[in-house]
Amino acid sequence: QVQVVESGGGLVQSGGSLRLSCTVSRGTIVFEGMGWYRQAPGKQRELVARISVGDITNYADSVKGRFAISRVNAKNTVYLQMNSLKPEDTAVYYCNALTLSWPWGKGTLVTVSS
């Protein structure tokens, strides 16, 4: 079964940066549009960044201009570079195929202090 593992989260001050990684095993991302999602306490999971098979990217308005998604197919890995972080970015971050056809990973916690 496909396994998704997210990493790179942590505690950072407002204005700081983090780079998240998502590695997929027992599967391939080559033919998949991929997305980074986040779930803040008490809120629903939301899609914040997406990248198509052809590397076209789209972002939620809340992160546009601050986050950048990228992919390295040869490594089966998707990245999320997060800059100018704000306290409202605090959440558990997950990645998945845009079809949501894979099991969710455990996510990686990002905490932004003010």
Residues in the chain, total: 114
**Coil, helix or strand for 27?**
coil
pLDDT > 90: percent of the chain:
96
**Whole-angstrom Cα distance, residue 21 to residue 4?**
10
Instruction: Say what the pLDDT of residue 36 is.
Output: 98
Distances in Å between the alpha carbon of 99 and those of 33, 66, 80? 8, 25, 19
Instruction: Say what the pLDDT of residue 15 is.
Output: 98
Q: How confident is the model at residue 27 (pLDDT cuts 50, 70, 90)?
A: confident
Diameter over CA atoms, the chain: 40
Map tokens 């998502």 to a residue. Answer: 22
Query: How do residues 71-110 score in pLDDT, each as one tens digit?
Result: 999 999 999 999 999 999 999 999 999 999 899 999 999 9
Instruction: Say what the pLDDT of residue 25 is.
Output: 92
Per-residue tokens: 112: 């932004």
Instruction: Say what the pLDDT of residue 101 is.
Output: 86
* Contact by Cβ (8 Å): 61, 46: no
β 77-82/67-72 pair status: antiparallel
Give 74's contacts (C-beta < 8 A, 6+ positions apart): none
